[in-house]
Amino acid sequence: MVRRRAEHNECEIFSLEELSLHQQDIERMEHLDRWCRELRILYLQSNLIPRIENVGRLKKLQYLNLALNNIEVIENLEGCESLQKLDLTVNFVGLLSSVESLQHNVHLTELFLVGNPCAQFQGYRQYVVAALPQLQWLDGTAISRSERIRACQGLEEARRRVWEQEEEYLKRRGTEKEEALREKGDEERKPGFDGRWYTDINTAAPALVENLENQENQENLDEERREQEFWHTPCSFTPESRLEAHRHLEEKKKTKEKEKEKKPKGPSRLITAEGRVLNVNQPKLDFSLTEDEDNNTIVLDLEVYRHMDTSLIDVDVQPTYARVTVKGKIFQMVLPAEVKADSSTAQRSQNTGHLVLTMPRAEGEIKVTKTVSRPPGGSQTGGGGGGGGGGSLPWDSKRRHNAPERLEVDPSKHTAVDFANIVRPQSAGEGPLEASRTARPTAAAHCSFSDGFVDDPDVPPLV
């Protein structure tokens, strides 16, 4: 966990100067004085730490934040020679005399104790100001010179009153601990469900099923009732009650995780049994689908996470839909028109991290035309060649109705090369040699021949 929080230092903890471990449910301070000797700032607020320990070797530590924890005594900070600011807001410090242990921290100028039981003591501020002469700020309020002089003059009287109030607090605190132990023992001895079925063994199967359903409903109601009682029952704000609330939330979280494991999610459907493609957005990403009429393309802009590595993205473009897999979660979108999958491109923005798919539309429209082939010699008439009516033969009608279908591309949407006029058509009485000779340019008419030249038609021309 410490190494993960050291990302700004390239995950190196030996040279780490600032560390934030707030809201991590930490119940003990350990290893930091051995791992991070160069620490200057340490955030440990909103945890469950009961004691200040294992920070004595942090000689360079300047700021320590332990707000919202379960600390009851100020101790073990003598070794933090460079400590300048200490925040103990909303803890359970009741021994105000333990603040005198901070006299060794000569550089300490700011201290926060608001929200602790000791802050309610009579003469609290006067005692702290007099006990810590190096202090300049207490609970966010500056200490003036005149206030310090008055506090030092009445220090003995303030110390005596503080000790009396501490004795009363310790008695009250002991009673709270005994009540917490007694409540814990009562919960452990609380009888639970004995596992028996209160039904007759000769009851029919439907009655058993109904009994089980009623029992499950009753258990759910009991669970809701216990949950409401736990959160609505008033209790004193103590380290034990705060720890109990944390344990309750942790147990509830584990129960939900077990229920999820018992009911595994089935594979999500991407295509129905009829072959219809579905729109799916498992990563819950924002997107926009537009049609570029000028370039005859369809553009899909998917707002992928900005700092996510591109290797975690997989793109699959099909003629009718596009599918993008982001960290194992599928985004699938049905396209409004057919596209060319092999000509599509996928690009990632370096500024926003968005994934842009540019998919050109498939040119041309597919039309269905029916062609009927007739027998040679025109239509045949019935009646054995008589000169009568024009009814066609039964087999001709059958061929007309069962004529094969042929797919043709609309010539208005396509520009194709005409291969029919590449070679000049031959005349009826012209042979291949005559055709080649007539197609040959008459270069002899423009050049002079030598004496004795004989034009042999069987000899091919020299190129």
DSSP 174-218: HHHHHHHHHHHHHHHT---------S-TT--HHHHHHHHHHHHHH
Rounded to the nearest integer, the mean pLDDT of the chain is 78
Q: Which residue has the higher pLDDT, 427 or 271?
A: 271
DSSP 12-60: --TT--EEE-TTS------SHHHH-TT--EEE--SS---S--S-TT-TT
What separation in angstroms does the CA of 139 have from each of 44, 85, 87, 106?
18, 11, 9, 18
Q: Number of helices and strands (H, E) in the chain?
A: 8, 17
Range from 38-52, 395-409, 447-461 carrying the lowest mean pLDDT = 395-409
- pLDDT value of position 231: 64
Residue 320 — pLDDT band, cuts 50, 70, 90? very high
Pairing of strands 63-65, 41-43: parallel
Q: Which residue has the tokens 């039309």?
A: 367
**Can you point out the beta strands (E) in 264-420?**
280-281, 287-292, 297-302, 313-317, 321-326, 329-334, 345-348, 355-360, 366-370, 405-409
Q: Which residue has the higher pLDDT, 339 or 368?
A: 339
Residue 202 — pLDDT band, cuts 50, 70, 90? very low
- pLDDT value of position 103: 93
Does 316 have pLDDT greater than 70?
yes
Q: Which residue has the higher pLDDT, 121 or 255?
A: 121
Residue 339 to residue 332: CA distance in whole angstroms: 15
Range from 130-139, 164-173, 243-252, 353-362 carrying the lowest mean pLDDT = 243-252
Reference 195, options 229, 219, 220, 224; nearest CA is 219
What separation in angstroms does the CA of 17 have from each of 37, 54, 58, 452?
8, 17, 11, 107
- pLDDT value of position 417: 56
Residue 302 near residue 314 (C-beta atoms within 8 A)? no
Residue 362's Cβ-count burial label (10 Å; 0-12, 13-18, 19+) is middle
Work out the average pLDDT over 287-308: 90
- pLDDT value of position 395: 45
Q: Which residue has the higher pLDDT, 257 or 396?
A: 257
Residue 5 — pLDDT band, cuts 50, 70, 90? confident
- pLDDT value of position 40: 94
Range from 28-42, 207-221, 286-300, 401-415 carrying the lowest mean pLDDT = 401-415
pTM for this structure? 0.51
Helix, coil or strand: residue 145 = helix
- pLDDT value of position 187: 60
Does 144 have pLDDT greater than 90?
yes
Residue 331 near residue 355 (C-beta atoms within 8 A)? no
User: Which pLDDT tens digit goes with each residue over 379-389?
Assistant: 444 444 444 44
Residue 357 near residue 299 (C-beta atoms within 8 A)? yes
Pairing of strands 297-302, 313-317: unpaired
Residue 427 to residue 157: CA distance in whole angstroms: 134
Q: Which residue has the higher pLDDT, 92 or 432?
A: 92
Q: Which residue has the higher pLDDT, 449 or 28?
A: 28
Residue 367, beta-bridge partner list:
408
User: Which pLDDT tens digit goes with each residue over 33-64?
Assistant: 889 999 999 999 999 999 999 998 999 999 99
Residue 263 — pLDDT band, cuts 50, 70, 90? low
Q: Which residue has the higher pLDDT, 220 or 348?
A: 348
59's tokens = 């000689």
Work out the average pLDDT over 205-230: 64
- pLDDT value of position 383: 41
- pLDDT value of position 60: 94
Domains of the chain: 4-167 (3.80.10.10), 280-360 (2.60.40.790)
Q: Which residue has the higher pLDDT, 230 or 244?
A: 244
- pLDDT value of position 102: 94
Buried b (16+ CB within 10 A) or exposed e, 299-334: ebbbebeeeeeeeebebebeeebbbbbbeeebbbbe
Residue 360 near residue 339 (C-beta atoms within 8 A)? yes
Residue 284, beta-bridge partner list:
none
Residue 442 to residue 257: CA distance in whole angstroms: 93
Query: What is the C-alpha end-to-end distance of the chain, expressed in Å?
Result: 84
Residue 192 — pLDDT band, cuts 50, 70, 90? very low
User: Which pLDDT tens digit goes with each residue over 356-376?
Assistant: 999 999 875 444 444 445 555
| Percent with pLDDT over 70 in the chain | 69
Work out the average pLDDT over 3-16: 83
- pLDDT value of position 418: 58
Contacts of 93 (CB under 8 A, 6+ apart): 71, 72, 73, 74, 113, 116, 117, 118
- pLDDT value of position 448: 57
Contacts of 411 (CB under 8 A, 6+ apart): none
Residue count of the chain: 463
- pLDDT value of position 199: 40
Work out the average pLDDT over 407-425: 56
Pairing of strands 345-348, 297-302: unpaired
